[in-house]
Amino acid sequence: RDKGNKDSYILVQQSERNWSHWRMECCRLRSIKFGSFIPVRFQSIVEDKGEDSDSSSSHKINS
Residue 12 — very low, low, confident or very high, per pLDDT cuts 50/70/90? confident
Residue 7 has what pLDDT? Answer: 78
Contact 20, 12 (CB under 8 A): no
What DSSP string describes 19-37?
Answer: HHHHHHHHHHHHHHHTT-H
Q: What is the mean pLDDT of the chain?
A: 64
Residue 21 has what pLDDT? Answer: 76
Whether the model clears a pTM of 0.75, i.e. scores above it, the answer is no
Does the pLDDT of residue 45 top 60, yes or no? no
Any idea where the domains of the chain sit in the sequence?
2-62
Mean pLDDT score, 48-56: 54
Mean pLDDT score, 30-43: 57
